[in-house]
Each structure stands twice: as structure tokens, then as C-alpha cells.
Structure 1
Amino acid sequence: MSDATDEFDVIVIGAGPTGENAAQYAIAGSDRTAALIESELVGGECSYWACMPSKALLLPGALADRAGAMGGLDGTELDPAGVLERRDAFTRHWDDASQVAWATDAGIEVIRGAGRLTGEREVTVGERTLRARHAVVLATGSEAVIPDIPGLRAARPWTNRDATALRAVPGTVLVLGGGVVACEAATWLATLGAGVIMVVRGRSLLPAAEPFAGERVAEALRRRGVQIRFGTELTEVTRDLPAGADPAPGAPREAPATCTLSDGTELIVDEIVVAAGRRPRTDDLGLDAAGLPPGTGIEVDDQLRVRGAEDWLYACGDVNGRAALTHMGKYQARVAGDVIAARAEGRPLEGSRYAASADHGQIPQVVFTEPEVASVGPTAAAAREAGHDIAEIELDIAVAGSSLARDDYAGRAKLVIDRATDTILGATFVGPDIAELLHAATIAVVGKVPLETLWHAVPAYPTVSEIWLRLLERARVDRG
């Protein structure tokens, strides 16, 4: 029998934003107790190696671009050292004291170490065994995948953790991949002065987005001097590194790497950034103790309950494979927390708050390249594949608001419309500072707002949001 101090109402393994939200919502407004287990930094990947530091590295360059494209301004010279200092401020120099203080103030006990399931409602951390009265939540996130390429792992390449924590700007960098992480990393590295070469196995960047999004990001990267080698693979890496422990994230590897490509080209670079996908962190969770096979993902229902252990086990965020985005993990955690609280209090699970639906085709995402890419819902191709009869409305963003925003404004917008319901299934916007247009589109998609109703949502003049009027006008013309 565990000591009373080792019993909690809720135990959460993983103290990133998802785990924090799950613990907070599960005990909010009650005398329930929660433990938050973390083997690294409380605040997780997003706070220290992903969302926050990457945006801190990207936005100064975007502002410098905007100033350089604004008549009446002299432009702004980017200070790489200052950008890194500002990044350090947002990561609090990789110190999680403030996050721990938040958890403590919220009535959540932080336990350091690697949590592992060892039985029903039982978690072991080191030599300590914890028991949950109501629920255990798995929120361990995901980790970068290092492809099985000869010499690559031995060369100690950078992952997103190194690229966001870089100590100094490398001279030359090979970025492996063409997705979101690859495009964002290529953007800030090039902006800070690195020579960047992207090696992309496919024929486009951002392949999950509308085609014009990847095309415009590729054009912008090339203008920054980035070389993009499409249809090419990295086949071998050689690097003469001294033996020893892996260096700290962002530390230079202190020896160049020779990279051989599938077309026979050899490149000598200072660093390699691997952005070739991520996988759920499930290997050491003890899933077998819950009667679950180890694997790359954990299947959950819309209440985030783990299939096969619905009475007590939940999984939120990247670890369940539904939508690998911080804001979606936090959304799932809020739903799971509400479900746990209701079940603990014997309340019925009635109403939409107790079921996650936004990660079924209504997922918003922003790629913070320059230009930004903001999207929600399926692309036209994905909507057709799902069986929808759709109309497509696609226009350049050329309105009074955009012409005022910067002198060289260039953007494009697209709506995917369900003909049967006359509502928007998906929307994509590409352009400078376009991210703030996304929430309006998300509301229209989630709310299934008819186009005739949207016609009366009048965009303010002069703003970039005027593109909504142009899109709706085109939709009226196309429908006749």
C-alpha cells in the first residue's frame, strides 16, 4: 500500500503545455490533488526548444523585412547576437523555476524523473510508486526522428532542439526535410546569416498544404539565398568527431561534415539540421502494464481515454498521434481535464465540452516563415479525397489594407467550400503577418457558418481582412 503522500487524484506524465493543462483542468475549483511528472524541464518542448524560441528567432527577421519594405523608413539592420539574447529571455535561459512556481501555485505537485506505468492507476518514478484515485494522463509529447542514413547518427546532427538553442550562427547548414520545422529553421538560419542548403526528397515544400503555399515559401527562401535541392536524398555522412558525451543543445559540433547526396554531389557543411519528422515518445512508458502494446502512437476516443483502459488512462497531445501541434494538445488536455473532473464528481458527460472534435478536420496551423502560411481544415485535395463536393475560391491578396501594410505586399488566399452546405471546409492564407487572419476562418469552419451569413460579417477598412469580401464576392459570381 502506498503512503498517503504518494496518492493523488490525478497523475500526469509529461509536464509540457499539454500536461500542465490536463492537470490544471482536472482539479480546477476542487480539493482534488494532482502530480505532474517531468524528466526534463517543466514547460516542455514548446517552451524551450520549439514554439517559443523558434518564434523568437523568426519574428525579428520578419520585422526587419517589413521595415525594409516600408516607404519612409531606412530599414532595420538585424543584430544576430541581440536576436539570440532575446531568444534566451523567452526560454528563461532554459530555467523552469517560473513554470514550477506556476504548478505549485495551482496546487499541482511537480515530481522530477521519468514516469512509467507499472499497473492500473500506478506510476513509478525512480524508487517512488504513485497511485491515482481517478486518472493517469500520458502527455509525453514527441521526439525528432533521425533517419537511418549511413553515418548520420554518428555525425551528431542538430535536431529542432539544437536549431532553436544555437549558441552561434554556423557558416553553412544542410537542412534535411521540407516540412514546417525545416522551412522555419531555414528561414531564421538564413536571416541570421547562415548559408543554407535544403535537401528535400519530394518535389515541394510544405507538402501537406495547398500547393501555392509551398511555392511561395520556396520563392522567399531562394531570395534569402537558400539553395533548395528537390527530389534529392542524403545518402551518407562522414564527420571526424572526438568520442564523448553528446554536446548540449545548440553547441557547435566543431568539425565539418561531408554529406553525399543521391545525385552524387558532395557538400561540406558546418552543421546538419534533421527535420525529417517526429514520433510519439512512448518507448519507456510501460504501456504493457496497461495491457497495451508498445508502438508509435496511443489510440484514444474523443474523450481522450486510451482504448483498452478507458476507466482510468488518458493520452493527450503528440503522444496520441491525432494532431501534433501545441495548441491542439492543450485543447485535448482541456477536454480530458473536464472529463476527468466530471467523472470524479459523478456528473454526466453531456455536452460538446466533453468530446474533442476540432482535431477531426478543423485543425488550425501557422507556419511562421516569411511569408507566413496560415490554414485551417482540409486542402482541396484532401476534401475531395474525403468525398466532399467542393468549390474552390483562390485569389491574390490585393486590397487597400495590404497595400498599406507594406509596399511590396504579396499574398494569396483560398477557400474550400462544401457545395452541399454552402459552408467553408478549409481556408489557407499566405502572406506577411497573415497569421492573425486565421482565427476568423477557424470560427467560420468550426461554426459551419453559411456563406450568406458571412456576407454580413463586414471587414473593417482598410485592413488585410478585406480579402474576405473579395473571396465572398468571387464565390457569389461563381455560383451565379
Structure 2
Amino acid sequence: MTDTETNAYDIVVIGAGPVGENVADRTRAAGLTTAIVENELVGGECSYWACMPSKALLRPVIARAEARRVPGLRQSVQGPLDAPAVLAHRDEYTSHWKDDGQVRWLEGVGVDLHRGRGRISGPRTVTVTGPEGERRVLTARYAVAVCTGSRAALPDLPGLDAVRPWTSREATSAKAVPGRLIVVGGGVVAAEMATAWQALGSRVTLLVRGKGLLPRMEPFAGELVAEALTEAGADIRTGTSVTSVTRENGTVVAVTDRGDRIEADEILFATGRAPRTDDIGLESIGLEPGSWLEVDDSLRVHGHDWLYAVGDVNRRALLTHQGKYQARIAGAAIAARASGTAGLESHPWGAHAATADHAAVPQVVFTDPEAASVGLSLAEAEEAGHRVRAVDVDLSSVAGAGLYGDGYRGRARMVVDLEDEILRGLTLVGPGVGELVHSATIAVAGQVPVDRLWHAVPSYPTISEVWLRLLEAYRDN
């Protein structure tokens, strides 16, 4: 391999996580030659340090909690979790941080993998520096797609590097259960990792700068999750910021703005994300290194007709499933433009427009209880200028909830647009609600009228009967 070697493709994708893989899959399916560049593991953050390992840690936690609510079963699951077995299962789920299977998949669909750091070095050009320092130039006839994702953003605290704090990566890949764990943050990662490690045996202290957990969801979602975490033994302190962190003789010492001194074995900062765009050559095409990339609904970067930014890097929705959705849109748009298809922008709900990113983004938080939502919260809908009404239902009133387990606690909120009589959003909190959110996603994305939903009959006795209760409450009040 020499410095002057050049490889020509129709499409070059930077980043081989789920988003990059899906862009490559769609362009290959359209008959376009495609290369993908990856500096770490094929499969990306989701496969090895985020979605998959975190859910592998959380599944036994949630299954045990649900089993303990079932008469005749709870007596069999009263002991502690087998933490080594849970961690071993997590390791299996991440393929022990080896990407052989993902590489075979790329080979199977005909995508060329180039290992190394890819940097844009001009229009439609990516230079790859390989593991041994070798360099090759990849040229793209039609498009370059940036799918490099995001990384944990750490606060600017003096000496933080010396403390060796956990980020989401360490929290999902740790080899042992810390006796004491401080979690800084109140979002999804903080809530899920506090749930997992508390159940696995850590004494968790949650330090939340805001008023409560899950601030981007309806307020009751964070309240119910915080209530359950507190009952499980976690110490949650809201309105609290960390002013300093040190590690003394192996012990982490965090000092808060309230003057509290908290000691732990590890500290996890779950305080936001930053784009992985600082070292991909954006400056060579007049863009700011380290910036989020603004795109249109076909995921094309403004001002660059050959450059696409898909997934976390465009900051539209930092969720794997939404990134994969964008990847399908981008792949279709790239293929259509490559073939000279006209009228790409004329169909807002067509194959080439990521319309759902604006209206119907679903999310599940895998805590106990689960929290799930799609579309807008009541506050977001009102802020957007919609004339809406919120309808709330106690999930324990649904027959299926009682069968699910004793003492079922949960809540649902439907946000109805009073002008168009369609759903703008729905939020559910309670055991098992993650499996209900797709029906809500269909209702929101499909703009299904409320009077039509009335005829979508939920099966009895399931928790999905909450739909009937919500619609009854809307019609009767």
C-alpha cells in the first residue's frame, strides 16, 4: 500500500456504526459501488458501548422486578442478581468487543471496508490513514456520507482526566460492580445506568442539576422513575452541580455546589453528547471542525450537494433507530440523485424525506418502570403554537395492568391537536410500556384522526387497552 494509491467508488461512507452500515446497505442495494471507513469496531457505539450492552445489563434487572410483582413467582426471585452472570451475558451480547460478524455482513452485501481514520480532504474525497500509518485516497463519484456519531461530553472541571471518570462507554463495559457509584446527570443514560448498577449491587448517588429526571419527557415520567429508584435504594439529589472531583487513594471524592462531599469508587458523567466531527477534515471544505452538521430533510449538508450527514452528527435525533431511519432516507436520496431522478423534494412523506424526525420520534427508556414517548410533549406542542389538549389516564385502571403484576403503577398522556383532531404526542410510563410505543408512533406519524382511532379495538385484557381509556376520556370530557 502506497501513499499514492487511489480507489474510486460511487459512494464513500465515514463511520461503520448502524447508521453508516444502513447507508451503505441502501446504496449497494441500488447498485452503487460503496466503501465504508471505520477507525474502531464495525458496528459502532450502539453495538459495543451503548444500546446493546446497556440493554443486556438492564434486561435481568427489569425481568426480576416484574417477576417480583407476580403472585406465585415472587418468592422464587427474592435473592440478589448474579452479577458475574449478567456481565458475562453482556459480554456475549457485544461479541466480546470483536466485530468479525459485522465485517462478514459488510462483505456479504458487497461493501468494501477500509480500516483507519477517514478525513475529508476535498470535495468527494476521503483520505484514510490505516493502522500502520499507510494512506489511501478514496474518491466518490456521487456522495460522501458522514456517519461518525457522537461521544460523551465531559464538563470542564480541573483535573478531571486524572480522576478517570466513567462515561457511557465505561458504564456499559465495566468488568466489575463498583461498591459505590456517583452518577452525574438526569437524562436517559443517567437514569438507565443508575437503574442497572443499583440493581447489580452498587450504592448509587444521582446528582441532577435540574429539577428531576428525564427532562425532555412529560414531567410525570421522571417523577415515577425517580420514585422507583429511590425505593430501590438510590440517593437522588436534584438542583445539584458538581464543582470539583478528585481521586484520593483510589476513592473518588465529589464536592457539590451545596458543599456536600460524596465518596465513591467510580463516578459516571452522563451530561450530554458532542459530535465526532473534530478530526474528519471539515476545515478542508469550509466547515467548522467539531460542529454539528446542519442538513435538509434528505440529510444533505447545506451548501454541499455531495455531502450527507446522517445520524447523531446532524443533531436531529440522537437515537440509533432514528439514525437508521435517516440512513434509509439518505440512501434512497443518494441513489435517486445518482440516477438523475427529478422531483426529490416534492413529497414530504416520500422515500427521500426524513419527515418523521420533525413529528414522530419515538423513544424508550429502559428503567423500572419503563418510560416511552413519541411526538411532542404537552409543553412542546404548546410552544410550537398548536392548540392542544392533554388527556391523562392512570395505567393501573387498565385490566391488563393488574394481570401484569400486583401494585402496577403507571400513567399515560395523549396530546390531541384540537384543530386537526390528530395526536401530536403520547407518553407512557409503567412496566412493559416500551412495547406499546410503536402503535402510538403509527398514530402520530400517520396523522390518524381520533375518530378513526376509536375503531382500532385493543385486545382484552392487555395493557394496550389504555388506548380505549384515553379515547374515552377525550370524548367524555
**TM-score calculated relative to the size of structure 2:** 0.95
1:59 maps to 59
Structure 2 counterpart of 1:23, which letter? A
Quick one: distance in 2 between partners of 1:160 and 1:291?
Answer: 32
CA distance in 2, matches of 1:375, 1:318: 19
SS where residue 212 of structure 2 aligns? coil
Aligned position for 2:438? 439
Question: Cα offset for 1:34?
Answer: 0.8
Q: Secondary structure at the match of 2:113?
A: strand
**Structure 1 unaligned runs (5+)?**
242-254
Q: Secondary structure at the residue paired with 2:90?
A: helix
Cα shift readout 1:325-354 (whole Å, capped 9, x = no counterpart): 001110111000001111112223264111
- 1:117 paired with 2:120, answer yes
CA–CA distance in 2 between the matches of 1:426 and 1:278?
25
C-alpha separation between the residues in 1 aligned to 2:290 and 2:160? 24
Q: Equivalent of 1:290, from 285, 288, 304?
A: 285
- Partner residue, 2:228: 220
Q: What's the CA shift string for 1:129-175, capped at 9, x where partnerless?
A: 11011110000000001101223232110000000001000000000
- The equivalent of 1:108 in structure 2 is 111
Letter in 2 for 1:135: A
- Residue identity in the other structure for 2:276: R
Residue 388 of structure 2 aligns with which residue? 390
User: What secondary structure, in the 3-state scheme, does the structure 2 residue paired with 1:98 have?
Assistant: helix
The aligned residue for residue 156 of structure 1 is 164
* Aligned equivalents of 1:156, 1:146: Cα separation in 2: 11
Deviation larger for 4-13 or 216-225: 4-13
Task: For residue 49 of structure 1, report the CA deviation from its aligned partner.
Answer: 0.3
Which amino acid in structure 1 is aligned with residue 126 of structure 2?
A: V
Name the CA distance, whole Å, in 2 between partners of 1:155 and 1:368: 29
Maintained 8 Å contact 1:373/1:435: yes
- Counterparts of 1:206-217 in structure 2, within 5 Å, are 206-217=214-225
1:83 to 2:86 alignment: yes
Structure 1 residue 5 displacement after superposition: 6.4
Quickly say closer, same or farther: Cα 1:218–1:62, change in 2 above 3 A.
Answer: same
Deviation for aligned residue 1:290: 2.0
Residues 64 and 75 in structure 1, CA contact (< 8 A), matched pair in contact too: no
Matched, 1:184 2:192: yes
Contact kept in structure 2, 1:396 and 1:413, CA below 8 Å: yes
Partner SS for 1:123: strand
Please name the residue that 2:407 is paired with: 408
For residues 254 and 466 of structure 2, the distance between their equivalents in structure 1, rounded to whole angstroms, comes to 45
Deviation at 1:289, TM superposition (A): 1.8
Aligned residues of 1:375 and 1:426 also touching (Cα < 8 A): yes
Matched, 1:257 2:252: yes
One-letter code of the match for 2:57? L
Match of 1:193 in 2: 201
Distance in 2 separating the partners of 1:147 and 1:187: 23
Q: Structure 1 CA distance, aligned partners of 2:159 and 2:469?
A: 52
1:202-221 CA distance string (max 9 Å, x none): 11111111010000000000
Amino acid in the other structure paired with 1:401: G
Q: How far apart, in 2, do the equivalents of 1:201 and 1:151 lie?
A: 21
Alignment partner of 2:356: what SS? coil
Partner of 1:137: 145
In structure 2, give the amino acid aligned to 1:63: A
Equivalent pairs counted in the alignment come to 463
CA RMSD of aligned residues (A): 1.4
Residues 291 and 308, structure 1, Cα contact 8 Å, conserved in 2: no
Percent of counterpart pairs with the same letter? Answer: 54
Could you tell me how far apart the structure 1 residues matched to 2:436 and 2:114 are? 40
TM-score, scaled to structure 1: 0.94
Report the CA distance between 1:3 and its aligned residue: 7.9
Structure 1 segments (4+ residues) deviating >4 Å = 2-5
**Aligned partners of 1:236, 1:4: CA distance in 2, in Å?**
50
In 2: Cα distance, 1:161 partner to 1:295 partner: 20
SS of 2:304's partner is: coil
Cα distance in 2 between the residues matched to 1:86 and 1:18: 25
